[in-house]
Amino acid sequence: MLIDIHSHHPPEASSNLCFLEGLHSLGIHPWELREDQAMDSVEKRFGELKKRLNPEILAIGECGLDRARAGLWPISEQLAVLEWHMQWSHSTKRPLILHCVRAHSDLLMLLKKKNYHEGKILLHDYNGNLTEAMKFLDYDTYFSFGPSFFRKNSKTPQVFKTLPRERVFLETDDQKDYSIEAIYAKACKILKVDQKTLEELMEKNLLTFFSDLNDVSASDLIANLRTRS
């Protein structure tokens, strides 16, 4: 079974690819925090999202911080919105799915400020360096990797190889050049393991990542996966 922890596209046909059908996370992406958006309208939308919480919602996000994209709110205001999500994640015992671009130091400062040690975090498409990654391990942080494996002179393979294996996932994100099968194959080469070993690791990590849910049984997660044939 191949697990794609973060994808924006329906999976291609595969006898070994499983996925969760439906809506399973709620949050406000930092790209939605455009300069033309008023704080009160975003706060209203966040309140509406909270009303939609149900047992099928497995995570809070994708939310986070972005210093690279033009036309967004200042980082101080992005941090305020992220704090809303952190509080919601903590109170509902759901992991936090984070987008973080050129803002890892800001995120680390916030985690330290909030002493955020009782909630799981997934840094999807992790693009920071190894030093930052090791600091995130002070918290219950997981990291997902994928297309960046194939970028020229990418530091991602070294970061992926060095991190504890129980803290990593694989993803396709918002691209179609590399399938999840190709990403698994690349990851096997980086870790020097066979695919069966890697698949078992990802399944174990998935169950651990969702183990804190207070109204959804983590053991049911795999049972709810659908195989696309």
Each residue's pLDDT tens digit, 178-226: 999 999 999 999 999 999 999 999 999 998 998 887 666 666 766 666 5
The distance from CA 156 to its chain's CA centroid, rounded to whole angstroms, is 16
Q: How far is it, in rounded angstroms, from Cα 90 to Cα 130?
A: 27
Q: Looking at residue 23, what is its pLDDT?
A: 73
For residue 214, the tally of other CB atoms under 10 A from its CB is: 9
Show me where the domains of the chain are located. Answer: 2-227
Residue 142 has pLDDT above 90, yes or no: yes
Where b means 16+ CB within 10 Å and e means fewer, 97-116 reads bbbbbebbebbbebbeeeeb
pTM for this model (two decimals): 0.91
- The pLDDT score that the predictor gives to residue 229 is 32
Residue 220 or residue 57, greater confidence: 57
Structure tokens of 206?
């998935």
Q: Is 3.40.30.10 the CATH number for 2-227? A: no
Mean pLDDT, residues 141-160 taken together? 95
Query: Are 2 and 16 within 8 A, CB to CB?
Result: yes
What 3 state SS string does 47-111 have?
Answer: HHHHHCCCCCCCEEEEEEEECCCCCECCHHHHHHHHHHHHHHHHHHCCCEEEEEECCHHHHHHHH
At 15, is the pLDDT very low, low, confident or very high (cuts 50, 70, 90)?
very low
Question: Angle at Cα 19 formed by Cα 201 and Cα 124, nearest 5°?
Answer: 65
Q: Mean pLDDT, to the nearest integer, of 78-106?
A: 96
